[in-house]
Amino acid sequence: MTSLPADSALNESTAASSAALAQTPRTRPVRLGDRGSHDVAQIHAIIDEAPICHVGFVDDAIKGHGTPSPMVIPTVPWRVGDELMIHGASSSRMIRRLQEGGEACITLSLIDGWVLARSAFHHSVNYRSVMLFGRPRLVSEEAEKRAALDALMEKIEPGRSAKVRAPNVQELKATSVLAFPIAEASAKRRSGPPADDPEDMAHPVWAGVVPLRLTAGEPEQDLAQTAG
Amino acid sequence: MTSLPADSALNESTAASSAALAQTPRTRPVRLGDRGSHDVAQIHAIIDEAPICHVGFVDDAIKGHGTPSPMVIPTVPWRVGDELMIHGASSSRMIRRLQEGGEACITLSLIDGWVLARSAFHHSVNYRSVMLFGRPRLVSEEAEKRAALDALMEKIEPGRSAKVRAPNVQELKATSVLAFPIAEASAKRRSGPPADDPEDMAHPVWAGVVPLRLTAGEPEQDLAQTAG
C-alpha cells in the first residue's frame, strides 16, 4: 500500500529499518524469545499485509451479563504513518467500549504454512504476527477522518479512493475511526523446515512445509453492472 | 447456556443440522442480526475449517505490569465432538492463565473476499466467523490427551496421526490441551455482492467481490529427506 500522511511518519517508517520499539512487560517474550522482534519496519510490514486483525478488549457492560468479559472482534486493520487504524459502526460494541477509553490488545496473524514434522510434538505453523497494546484516539476531525478512510480504500485496491463515491456527512457520522499508536507492540515469526529431534530424523514419514497463502481468485463483477 | 451432556451432544451434532445453541447476553447480536446464527452445524463447520483462532483472555499477572490487560493469542483450534480444543506449552502465558480458571473469548475468522462497492461506505469483507465464550477443562487423562492430539494431526493431514512418531511421556507433560465446550457460541457470515444504495448504482467504478482463499502451495519437503 498505501497513502501515508505527508510528514515525518513516512520518513521514519521507510528510512530506519533498524528502528526498534522499546520492550515492555507486555511485549517481552515469555518463551521462544528468538522468534520475537520489536523492529518497526517488520511490524509495519505485517500490518500493511494483514487483511484482518483481532481486537481484544474487556467488556464490562454487556446487558444481562453480570461480570466483565473478554471479547475478540475481527476487523480490517490499516496503517497511517505510525498508527494502526480500525473502524466500525459508531453504534457497535467494540467501538463504544474502546471510545470510552478501553484498552485493547490487537493481534494480526499471517499464516505462511503448516510445518509437518516427523514427531507429533514438533508440528508447527509458519506465521508472521504482530501483537499491539494500547488505547485508541478517536479520529474526529473531518479532513483527517476522510484521509484515513481513503487510506483504507487504498489498502483494499490502490487507486480506489479516487474512484468510489466518497462518504457523505451521514455516513461519516455513522462510522468511527480509531487510531492506535504503534508503540507498545512486537512481531513474532516462525519460518523454515520442521525442527525434529536428531533421533527422529530417520522416522519414515514425509516431513517439510506445506506453504499457505491467502490468494485472490477471479473477481466476480456485480451482476447489476455486467447486465447493464 | 449450558454445556451439553457428553452423550446426547454427540448425537445431536452429527444428526441434527438444525440444532441451535441457546442465545446468551454475550452471543446476542448487537447489530446486523441477520448475519448471525446459533446453528450448531454451521459453528462446527467453521471450527473444522479454520487453521487458526484468536484466544482472548485477561492477564492479571503480567510481571512488571500493574493492571490486568487483555491478551489475544493466535493458535490452532480443532474440534473433538462438542468441544473446541487448543494446546500449547504448559509454561506459556495463555495456558497458565486459562488453566487457572480464566475465561476466554475465542474467535475464528475465515476470510472469503473483499467486497468492493460503488460507495466507500459499503465496502465490506465476506467472511465466516465463530465467537465462543467459556472456561476450559484441562485434558489430563493420558488416553484422552493422546486421542485429542491425534485429532489435531488428523486436522492437519488426514491419516497423519498413525504415521508420525507419537508423543513420549516428556512431550505429553510439556504440552497442555484445553477443551472448551461449544455451548456459548455463535456464528456470523457475510456473503454475496456489495449492497450499494440505489442512488449509487450508476456510479462508474468496478463493483463486485474479489474472492480470497487460503491456498496450499507446492509442498516443500525437508532437505534432510530429499538429500538422503
The answer to whether position B47 is within a domain reads yes
Burial of A120 per CB tally in 10 Å (0-12, 13-18, 19+): buried
Q: How far apart are CA B128 and CA B112, in angstroms?
A: 7
Q: What is the pLDDT of residue A228?
A: 55
Would you call B173 an interface residue with chain A, using a CB distance cutoff of 8 Å? Answer: no
Q: Name the A residues in 5-44 with CB < 8 Å from any B CB.
A: 24-26, 30-31
- pLDDT confidence bin for B35, thresholds 50/70/90: confident
CB contact under 8 Å between B107 and A72, yes or no, is yes
Better pLDDT: B108 or A4 = B108
The answer to whether position A106 is within a domain reads yes
CB contact under 8 Å between B220 and A209, yes or no, is yes
Cell 488426514 found at: B158
Q: What is the pLDDT of residue B50?
A: 98
The answer to whether position B93 is within a domain reads yes
Residue A64: CATH number of its domain: 2.30.110.10
pLDDT (tens digit, 9 = 90+) per residue, B152-167? 999 999 999 999 999 9
Q: Name the A residues in 48-87 with CB < 8 Å from any B CB.
A: 51-52, 54-58, 62-65, 68-74, 76
Q: With contacts defined as CB-CB under 8 Å, which chain B residues touch A113?
A: 217
Query: Quick check: B30 pLDDT over 50?
Result: yes
The chain B residue lying nearest A96, using CA atoms, is B30
Q: What is the pLDDT of residue A37?
A: 92
Q: Name the A residues in 179-218 with CB < 8 Å from any B CB.
A: 193-194, 200-201, 203-218
Q: With contacts defined as CB-CB under 8 Å, which chain A residues touch B73?
A: 107
The answer to whether position B226 is within a domain reads no
CB contact under 8 Å between A114 and B51, yes or no, is yes
The answer to whether position B182 is within a domain reads yes
Q: How far apart are CA B120 and CA A38, in angstroms?
A: 34
Query: Quick check: B137 pLDDT over 50?
Result: yes
Q: With contacts defined as CB-CB under 8 Å, which chain B residues touch A105?
A: 56, 69-72
pLDDT (tens digit, 9 = 90+) per residue, A163-174? 999 999 999 999
> Range of A16's domain?
8-191
ipTM: 0.91
Choose from B62, B67, B72 for mutation: most chain A CBs within 10 A: B72
Cell 494446546 found at: B87
B107 CA: distance to closest CA in chain A (Å): 6
B227 CA: distance to closest CA in chain A (Å): 12
Q: What is the pLDDT of residue B90?
A: 93
Q: What is the pLDDT of residue A36?
A: 87
User: What is the arithmetic mean of pLDDT over B99-111?
Assistant: 94
Query: Helix, strand, coil % (nearest 5) of chain B?
Result: 30, 35, 35
Residue B26: closest CA among A189, A120, A93, A129: A93
Domain count, chain A: 1
What is the residue type of A216? Answer: A
Q: What is the pLDDT of residue B209?
A: 98
Print pLDDT tens along chain A (228 aa). 333 333 333 334 444 456 999 999 999 877 676 788 999 999 999 999 999 999 999 998 888 888 889 999 999 999 999 999 999 999 998 999 999 888 999 999 999 999 999 999 999 999 999 999 999 999 999 999 999 999 999 999 999 999 999 999 999 999 999 999 999 999 999 999 999 999 999 999 999 999 999 999 999 999 999 875
Q: With contacts defined as CB-CB under 8 Å, which chain B residues touch A191?
A: none
Backbone angles phi, psi at B226, to 5 degrees: -70, -30
Quote the DSSP letter at residue B22.
Answer: P
Q: What is the mean pLDDT of chain B?
A: 91
Q: What is the pLDDT of residue A34?
A: 75
Q: How far apart are CA B166 and CA B49, in angstroms?
A: 24
Q: With contacts defined as CB-CB under 8 Å, which chain A residues touch B33?
A: none
In sequence order, the β-bridge partners of residue B73 are B55
Q: How far apart are CA A39 and CA A129, in angstroms?
A: 12
Strongest mean pLDDT among A23-32, B52-61, B111-120: B111-120
Better pLDDT: B7 or B27 = B27
The answer to whether position A224 is within a domain reads no
The gap between the terminal CA atoms of chain B, to the nearest Å, is 55
Using the CB atoms, write b or e for A95-117: b if 16+ within 10 Å. bbbbeeebbbbbbbbbbbbbbbb
A92, A129, A219: residue with CB nearest B30: A92
The answer to whether position B80 is within a domain reads yes
Query: Quick check: B6 pLDDT over 50?
Result: no
Quote the DSSP letter at residue A227.
Answer: T
Q: How far apart are CA A32 and CA A28, in angstroms?
A: 11
* Contact criterion met (CB below 8 Å) for B189 and B131: no
Q: What is the pLDDT of residue A69?
A: 93
Q: How far apart are CA B55 and CA B66, in angstroms?
A: 22
- Cell reading at A149: 478512510
The answer to whether position B187 is within a domain reads yes
Q: What is the pLDDT of residue B176?
A: 97
Q: How far apart are CA A31 and CA A115, in angstroms?
A: 19
Provide DSSP, chain A: -----SSHHHHHHHH-TT-BPPP-TTTS-SS-GGGEE-BHHHHHHHHHH-S-EEEEEEES--TT--S-EEEEEEE--EEETTEEEEEEETTSHHHHHHHTT--EEEEEEEEEEEEE-SBGGG-EEEEEEEEEEE--EE--SHHHHHHHHHHHHHHHSTTGGGTSBPP-HHHHHHEEEEEEES-EEEEEEE-SS----GGGTT-SS--EEEEEEEEE---EE-HHHHT-
Q: With contacts defined as CB-CB under 8 Å, which chain B residues touch A162?
A: none
CB contact under 8 Å between B167 and A119, yes or no, is yes
